[in-house]
Amino acid sequence: MACGLWCQSVNPLTSSFDAPSVLLTSKPGLNNKVINLIMMVRELLSDENPDRNYHFLPPTPGQVVAGFNQRVGFLWNDATIIRMLRLNIQKLNTWNPMNLDSYTLESAPEAWGSAAALGAAASCLGKEAARWTAEEFAYSLNGVSLDLHKASEYQSIAQSYQQEFSEWAPLLTANRPCSSGLRQQRWIL
């Protein structure tokens, strides 16, 4: 069998493949549309490759051996992203009270899914800002001070994404005039 660009053997116990955590398998109950929306949200959050992007983020337990992490996991898990996607699809469903269409995550048009991904990224960042608010502290000892304030950074990015979502939603959910079934005689005498 000829192996092209996409075929590569992976052994998760070695580091023979760059970033094994980005290899995705479809989970039960998820279709390709939802998986693509999850990856779109991850790209907006810069969470698509945690092994490459790990700097000072706390690692999530991907594999724990004797209390040590062997690899770094995603910052946002799939269940959280799916909940935020569903929340933002519902926001779009109720944005225009004159709109009679009501979509789910699986039935939403592509543009609605993209807007929901943008809103979900804003919601995830807002959730992370709320988590970091409890972790903020300032410490000073003998002229050396340490301030840890991450919540405001997450909140500013969340507000930027939320503003884009708020600009896009009215245009996306607007009712467009159309006619169906109207017919006139060609010549009115």
- 105: tokens are 């995550």
Instruction: Kindly give, in sequence order, each residue whose CB lies less than 8 Å from that of residue 156, ignoring residues fewer than 6 positions away.
Output: none
**Confidence category of residue 19, pLDDT binned at 50, 70, 90:** very low
Q: Rounded to an integer, what distance in angstroms lies between the CA atom of residue 35 and that of residue 56? A: 27
Q: Rounded to an integer, what distance in angstroms lies between the CA atom of residue 47 and that of residue 90? A: 24
Instruction: Please check whether residue 64 is in contact with residue 70, taking contact to mean a CB–CB distance below 8 angstroms.
Output: yes
Query: CB-based burial of residue 121 (10 Å sphere; 0-12 exposed, 13-18 middle, 19+ buried)?
Result: buried
Name the H helices within the chain.
32-44, 50-53, 78-95, 110-135, 151-173
pLDDT digits (tens, 9 = 90+) for 105-144: 899 999 999 999 999 999 999 998 888 887 777 777 787 7
Q: Rounded to an integer, what distance in angstroms lies between the CA atom of residue 41 and that of residue 76? A: 10
The closest of 84, 83, 54 to 69, measured between CA atoms, is: 54
Is 36 a residue whose pLDDT tops 60? yes
pLDDT at 126: 92
pLDDT at 117: 95
Query: Comparing 111 with 8, which gets the higher pLDDT?
Result: 111
DSSP string, 3-57: --TT-----TTSS-SS-GGG---PPTT--HHHHHHHHHHHHHTT-S-HHHH-SSS
pLDDT digits (tens, 9 = 90+) for 157-186: 999 999 999 999 998 888 777 666 656 666
Q: What is the mean pLDDT of residues 86-103?
A: 90
pLDDT at 180: 65
Is 11 a residue whose pLDDT tops 50? no
pLDDT at 92: 92
pLDDT digits (tens, 9 = 90+) for 51-78: 665 655 555 555 554 455 555 567 788 8
**Confidence category of residue 32, pLDDT binned at 50, 70, 90:** confident
